Amino acid sequence: MVHSVDYYESVLADMGESARDGIQLFMISGMGHIMGPSGSQGFNFDSLGVFLEWKETGTTPEQVVVNRYGDCTEAGTRPVCSYPQVAVYQDTGNRNNAANFSCMMPD
């Protein structure tokens, strides 16, 4: 995880803030390198769809919504924010619904 952040920040340092139009970092805590609903905790999202929409619309994604799984059963959705922002629960609604979170800069 540290290497991903270091690489991302080095690209921005070398190429400037305009590089954000072509590079984003989305870190899904606990996902590792395996996508899917298997295991005690899993995550899944349409990564190809995110990239295709980015290319087709030219709009840089600020977040992706992932499906969370627990014991192979869907447990809800969560937004994953573009680094360095984090998803923050808005103190209303179901915590298993991505719509009840906002991307914000960490304190």
- Least confident range from 19-23, 83-87, 98-102: namely 19-23
Which residues does 61 contact at the CB level (< 8 Å), separation at least 6? 24, 50, 53, 54, 82
Predicted pLDDT at 96: 93
Predicted pLDDT at 44: 79
**HSE-up of residue 11 (Cα within 13 Å, Cβ side):** 13
In contact, 50 and 76? CB cutoff 8 Å: no
pLDDT, one tens digit per residue, over 32-90 is 555 555 555 677 778 888 889 999 998 888 899 988 887 778 889 989 999 999 999 99
Q: Which residue has the higher pLDDT, 15 or 36?
A: 15
With residue 13 as reference, give the H or E element that holds it. Answer: helix 2-15
